[in-house]
Amino acid sequence: MGSTKDRFGEGGGTPPPDGSSPSEGLFLLATVHGDPAGYRRAWRLLEHLRPSIITVEISPFSVRYRERKMNFWRKRLLRALKELPPHAREHLAVARVMAQVELPFEYRAARDWGSTYRIPVKFLDSGEEARRHLPRFAAELLTSGNLARLLETPATGNLEDYVKGEFLRARRALARKGFWGLSSMDAEQARRERLMARRLRQLTGENGRVVHLGGWEHLIPRPDGHSLLQLLRDLNPRVFLLDEADKLPIGKPPFKFAQ
């Protein structure tokens, strides 16, 4: 893999899949949603990269809705968990639901780092998917019945193990060792990807160093060629898997903001 200096010196990161020279303009931080260490990892990479603007795979609608509903969701989740065995929280499927109740770490890290250094943060997603799913979140997911059903599903390992496995899938895809279960996008997903690519392309042309935080499945090659990475290939973006931040100095995130 090479030394920390090799990976995180000038340039650093995983080169574009076509082997071209990466641009200093655009950096893609590939995350696993719900990563328990995600906030810390994102902070370390932002400290290392020092962007002039940060973008996030989230919509303004999703941010507003989640901030308004988060406390209600937390209370509803706690009520549902009280009806289940104490070990329920340790089950992978339940732990993933618990993570979804909180504000995404990608948003929180970008918000806090941007606030600390007075750097603008832009939300790139359209919000169509969030408008459909978030209003149903409490009624469909945060019930004792749903959590009990999840508790009966087979699960291997905990949330940390799941995150490690997802980063392994991402690494293999970036190394062109197969697409690892990724299917082609449907028409709506492809539209969403094109919208984010268009917005990110415009911001990259207007700013110095742009850092984007988004789920890894958008930032690797896909069979249909429609991933965000592939749509922006001509910009020669550099990809970091977020767990690469573990090789960097710890830094000092403002944990008073992390909630």
* CA atoms of 120 and 218, how far apart (whole Å): 22
pLDDT tens string 33-47: 999 999 999 999 999
- Cα-Cα-Cα-Cα dihedral of 201, 207, 211, 215, to 10°? -30
First and final C-alpha spacing in the chain: 34
* CA atoms of 207 and 76, how far apart (whole Å): 42
pLDDT tens string 140-174: 999 999 999 999 999 889 999 999 999 999 998 88
Cβ distance 184 to 223 under 8 Å?
yes
Q: Which of 13-17, 164-168, 180-184 has the highest mean pLDDT?
A: 164-168
Edge-to-edge, what's the strand order for the sheet holding 121-123?
121-123, 53-56, 210-215, 26-31, 238-241
Q: Which residue has the higher pLDDT, 248 or 88?
A: 88
What confidence category does residue 113 fall into, taking pLDDT thresholds of 50, 70 and 90? Answer: very high
Cβ distance 149 to 83 under 8 Å?
no
The string of DSSP letters for 12-34 reads -SBPPTT-PPPPSSEEEEEE-TT
Q: What's the confidence (pLDDT) of residue 180?
A: 52
